[in-house]
Amino acid sequence: MISYSIITTWQGWLSGSSILLYAVAIVLYAIAILILTSVFAYLFGWVERKIIAKIQHRHGPTYVGKYGIFQNLADLVKLLSKEHVTPDNSDPLLLSLGPVLLLAVITFMVLLLPFSPTLQATNLGLGLLLVFVLVAFLPLILFISGFATGNKFADISAQRSVLMLISYEIPLIVVVAAVALLSGSYSISGIVSAQASSHWYLLLMPIGFIVFFIVMLAEMERPPFDLREADSELIAGWLTDYSGPYYALALFIDYTRIFLASLLIALLFLGGWSGPVLPGIAWLLIKAFVIALFAIVVRATTVRMRIDRIMRLGWLWLLPLALINLILVYILFVV
Amino acid sequence: MEIDRKGLLSKLEALKGTGFDYLVKITVVDYGKNMQAVYFVRDIAKNRDETLEVNLDYKDPWLPTAIDIYPAADWYERELMEMFGIEIKGRITKRLLLEKWDGIDPPFRKSFEWNKEYRTQV
Amino acid sequence: MSTRINIGPVHPSTHGVLHLAVDIEGDTIKDVEPHIGFLHRGVEKLVETRMYMQSPPYMEKLDYVAPMSYDEAYVAAVEAALGVEVKERAQYVRVIELELQRIASHLFFLGALCNDMGQMFTMFMWVFEDRDRVLDLLQEATGQRMFYVNMRLGGVTMDLPPDFTDNCIAFLDHLDKRITEYEKYLEKNPVFIERTKGVGILSAEDAKALGVTGPTLRASGVPYDVRSAKPYYVYGKLGFNAVKLEKGDNFARYRVRILEMRESSRLVREALSKIPDGDALGAPIRLIGPAAKNRVVTVSRELPRGECMMYMVSDPQRPYRLSIRSPCFINLYALPHMARGQRLADLFSIMGSLDLVMACVDR
């Protein structure tokens, strides 16, 4: 089932497939992916600040570096230089484990995603399912670290993350099922090549795309679904008692999450790496960036939803829409 | 109009019956020898205002609570309790409104000494 | 089983320092207990030690969003005590400046409301652009941007500058367009609608019983506005109509402010067209001024947040006792009543719709 695609691609260079070489290659690849994720997240953070500033008729960061491009770096240095305060009634291990685990899971998921036919760690036959199992894992980590701080606002935030988990996982899986049905494959590379041979799934199932986009915003805690860290209600939600380096990590994770979400959308609905002239990975990153820009505009312009309304939206609108999408896909394209 | 504090509640009740359904403010003025509580009530529909003045004895300043007639009286009464040391009879919540005082003379009375050193609870 | 969470005194959306002890059961609010007094400075006692015209700067700090309105209410009470007539042109100037101040305050409200409902400062920044232009106008007219202290006995410190009319009309045209834009932007946003409509309902009876004032009262279907009930200055001549809406929910409270901004804009235009020539300057400040004639005066003014009543017992040269009926104080008293049974997230939108300024609550 598992084909070691890095090995097969670099076979000539490696000249022989010993397990040690494979391990070295995969570690190098993982480091490369981590750097790519960080660079994307960093650029995204800067672009988000700039675009929101533009929408709000401000300038945004201008002082540090050209066009303020190093502002986030300066913020990072500031946060890293601060003390990490552990509240008395918190669980120190879980408290510090939360952001670290989140980053690990997100990077692992990005690692599982293919960037082009040749650039992927492994070509898992059930890669799609594994990715979404891990996506469902994210609110669980937030839940744990929310309770670990022993802060009441973080508790409420943790409860909210569970409520959101149960209202969003099902529409998500139903849309993913439609994608799998249409492409006849659970492998992400398979889905991309299926799109290359027909059309982008954005055109074939627009309802599914809209549902998926909304669900991804909710999963990745983007406004208007940022109830877990609702700053005007819960101060910072599960982040309320985080400080110093862990807070910096948590803020960084915010941007890596949007990278993951926009990569997934680009792969499943926008034809992945397919595109003329430019290399595949460039196309994928461009598409992901466009999706991320949408998320920025949504963030800048809408007010936050309420938890009961989100559940209503999930169960009364998104789930039926996802099911309709599934049925339409079945009737129109499969039968 | 000036009335006695014993007849205050029945007067307020009567005013409310005739359409004065809005309490604007309750305040107290310390005149040195006596204190005077002032009730402002209003009939919004007919745009009429009425002022009730109640003279209080400096030795034994108390007022009956108007909270059952005008719920809006609640915080004003609490403020008077705190600032003028007036006892409001018939109230359930006796908690002060603005600050926690520790053995301070009622600060809005004229007998309040400005430069005396007070220790406030934090 | 209910949980008590303490919101504030330091919290992103308490509009100052307010401590709310909230009992929640699940996500539903059982009870709210406001603890106030963090900004209590005893202004009412402080003015007893100052001469009459030394106190306006203290009054302005009571409401840092619309400082001039408080200043004017206090000076009006002093004028009533001293028996000073306000010059006719000065009346127009005061009305123009106060209505501009009201527009600035209501714009601030719009931004703060959206912020409390979780928007990323976008509305806040947009309204601050407009508010900045109001402040520019007031700076031209008074010389200051925040704390104006421009009321003097019988008039104002500075007459309107010569190009004020043109600038003001240009701004009002711009403002009317912007208000339409804001209306479109907010009222077509389904999330905004569902966060405001039917949230924090206050019926007309409850509103009167709890004594709320200002836009909060008018949103509940009680059209009481001091400007029309007891017209002061030239409001009678300008044909002022009190705004009234029926629903009493967050949306109505937001709507009332939008309508009031339009009404204020109309009033300013009307006043600018009718303003007579003449002298608008008030008496210069003298520490020992004319002695007070009236012992007890009561002056009511419609501030942007509601009715402010100044009850002043006067000595010859200084207030013997000043009692301020603060609009925010009594609007905050109604908060627990409105919040009971609502969702936790709605507590903040209700608080935002009351437009509280904590300095005004605590005095």
Q: Can you give the pLDDT at residue A13?
A: 52
Q: pTM here?
A: 0.87
Kindly give, in sequence order, each residue whose CB lies less than 8 Å from that of residue C59, ignoring residues fewer than 6 positions away. Answer: C43, C70, C71, C73, C74
Taking CB atoms and an 8 Å limit, are A56 and C12 in contact across chains? Answer: no
CB pairs under 8 A between B and C: 63
Average pLDDT over residues C58-75: 89
Give the whole-angstrom CA distance, residue A41 versus residue A262: 11
Quick check: B51 contacting C, CB < 8 Å?
yes
Q: Can you give the pLDDT at residue A284?
A: 85
Average pLDDT over residues A299-305: 85
Total number of domains in chain B: 1
ipTM more than 0.90? Answer: no
Taking CB atoms and an 8 Å limit, are C13 and A300 in contact across chains? Answer: no
- Chain B: touching chains (3 or more CB pairs < 8 Å): C
| Closest by Cβ to C321, choosing from B21, B29, B44 | B29
Residue C188 has pLDDT above 80, yes or no: yes
Q: Can you give the pLDDT at residue A90?
A: 82
| Closest by Cβ to B108, choosing from C37, C45, C311 | C45
Going by pLDDT thresholds of 50, 70 and 90, the confidence category of residue A24 is confident
Instruction: Verify C-B touch: 3 or more CB pairs within 8 A.
Output: yes
Q: Can you give the pLDDT at residue A2?
A: 41
Residues in chain C within 8 Å Cβ distance of B30? 321
CA distances for C34 relative to B6, B95, C37, C210, angstroms = 32, 12, 10, 15
List the one residue out of C218, C323, C76 whose CA is nearest residue B39: C323
pLDDT digits (tens, 9 = 90+) for C77-125: 999 998 888 888 999 999 999 999 999 999 999 988 888 888 878 888 8
Residue type at position B7: G
Taking CB atoms and an 8 Å limit, are C122 and A300 in contact across chains? Answer: yes
Q: Can you give the pLDDT at residue A16?
A: 54
Residue B32 is assigned to a structural domain of this protein = yes
Topology of the domain comprising C3-362: Cytochrome-c3 Hydrogenase; chain B (1.10.645)
| Closest by Cβ to B72, choosing from C36, C321, C333 | C333
pLDDT digits (tens, 9 = 90+) for A243-282: 888 888 888 888 888 888 888 888 888 887 877 777 778 8
Q: Can you give the pLDDT at residue C106?
A: 92
Residue B122 has pLDDT above 80, yes or no: no
Quote the percentage of chain C above a pLDDT of 70.
Answer: 100
Taking CB atoms and an 8 Å limit, are A153 and C194 in contact across chains? Answer: no
Taking CB atoms and an 8 Å limit, are B75 and C333 in contact across chains? Answer: yes
Taking CB atoms and an 8 Å limit, are C211 and B24 in contact across chains? Answer: yes
Taking CB atoms and an 8 Å limit, are C309 and B29 in contact across chains? Answer: no
Quick check: A52 contacting C, CB < 8 Å?
yes
Residue of A156, A233, A316 to mutate when probing chain C, most C C-beta within 10 A: A233
Residue C180 has pLDDT above 90, yes or no: yes
List the one residue out of C133, C152, C151, C147 whose CA is nearest residue C64: C147
Range with lowest mean pLDDT among A192-196, C61-65, C103-107, C176-180: A192-196
pLDDT digits (tens, 9 = 90+) for A211-250: 988 888 888 878 788 887 777 778 887 888 888 888 888 8
**Of residues C349 and A199, which shows the higher confidence score?**
C349
Interface of C with A (CB under 8 A): 3, 5-6, 11-13, 27, 114-122, 124-126, 129, 189, 191-192, 194-195, 343-346, 348
Q: Can you give the pLDDT at residue A1?
A: 35
Asked if residue C230 lies in contact with residue C207, where contact means CB atoms within 8 angstroms, the answer is no
- Closest residue, chain C, to A225 (C-alpha): C118
Average pLDDT, chain B: 82
Instruction: Verify C-A touch: 3 or more CB pairs within 8 A.
Output: yes
Q: Can you give the pLDDT at residue A235?
A: 81
Average pLDDT over residues A117-129: 73
Residue B82 is assigned to a structural domain of this protein = yes
List the one residue out of A235, A239, A225 whose CA is nearest residue A312: A225
Taking CB atoms and an 8 Å limit, are B75 and C224 in contact across chains? Answer: no
Q: Can you give the pLDDT at residue A114?
A: 81
CATH number at residue B56: 3.30.460.80
Domain ranges of chain A: 5-334
Average pLDDT over residues A45-66: 88
- Chain A: touching chains (3 or more CB pairs < 8 Å): C
Residues in chain B within 8 Å Cβ distance of C42? 107-108
Quick check: A164 contacting C, CB < 8 Å?
no
What is the nearest CA distance from B110 to chain C, expressed in angstroms?
9
Quote the percentage of chain A above a pLDDT of 90.
Answer: 1
What is the nearest CA distance from B61 to chain C, expressed in angstroms?
18
Taking CB atoms and an 8 Å limit, are A305 and C125 in contact across chains? Answer: no
Quote the percentage of chain A above a pLDDT of 70.
Answer: 93
What is the three-class DSSP state of A57?
coil
| Closest by Cβ to C40, choosing from B22, B29, B99 | B99
pLDDT digits (tens, 9 = 90+) for C211-223: 899 899 999 988 8
pLDDT digits (tens, 9 = 90+) for B70-120: 888 888 988 888 888 888 888 887 777 777 666 677 888 887 777 766 655
List the one residue out of B75, B91, B92 whose CA is nearest residue B23: B75
- Closest residue, chain B, to C334 (C-alpha): B72
Q: What is the largest CA-CA distance in chain B?
A: 50
What is the three-class DSSP state of A42?
helix
Give the whole-angstrom CA distance, residue C363 versus residue C360: 5
Quote the percentage of chain C above a pLDDT of 90.
Answer: 20
Average pLDDT, chain C: 88
Residue C300 has pLDDT above 70, yes or no: yes
Q: Can you give the pLDDT at residue A191?
A: 83
Give the range of the structural domain holding residue B52, as residue numbers without chain letter: 2-89
Residue B111 is assigned to a structural domain of this protein = no
CA distances for A251 relative to A85, A221, B22, C289, angstroms = 17, 12, 51, 61
**Of residues C330 and A146, which shows the higher confidence score?**
C330
Give the whole-angstrom CA distance, residue C187 versus residue C177: 15
